[in-house]
Amino acid sequence: MGKNFKDEFYKRLTDFSLSVVKFCSKVRKDRDLYRLADQLLRSGTSVGANITEAKSCGTKKEYIRYFQIALKSANESSYWLYLIKESSVSFCKEAEELSSELREISAIIAKGIKTMKGE
């Protein structure tokens, strides 16, 4: 990964996290979906947090582990987005847009893990 790609990817992760925060703020107003939004807020912002945390790792193994944790958080976030999308027509479009971005982010993380492992 070139420096420019890394910088753009970190920016993309931050933008995704901010979008999740804004989305969850709206969803939380629906009493029935409050818990789902809370879970999404935790897992969705965790993706970027774990990739950022990886920057300070001392070993390659530890670095890869944070990427794996980020990918797990992305998978969890996909689940919460799916439940929100299926539970409310009001949030369907925005949940799908976030899901689409998350699929792309997940693919980049997964490819990064494979590359670092030499696969």
Predicted confidence band of residue 1 (pLDDT cuts 50, 70, 90): low
Inter-residue long-range contacts of 34-39, CB under 8 Å, 24+ positions, other chains counted: 36/80, 36/83, 36/84, 36/87, 37/84, 39/76, 39/80
Helix/strand/coil percent split, the chain, to 5: 90, 0, 10
User: For the chain, which residues make up each domain, given as ranges?
Assistant: 3-117
Whether the Cβ atoms of residue 76 and residue 43 lie closer than 8 Å to each other: yes
Q: What architecture is the 3-117 domain classified under in CATH?
A: Up-down Bundle (1.20)
pLDDT digits (tens, 9 = 90+) for 9-64: 999 999 999 999 999 999 999 999 999 999 999 999 999 999 999 999 999 999 99
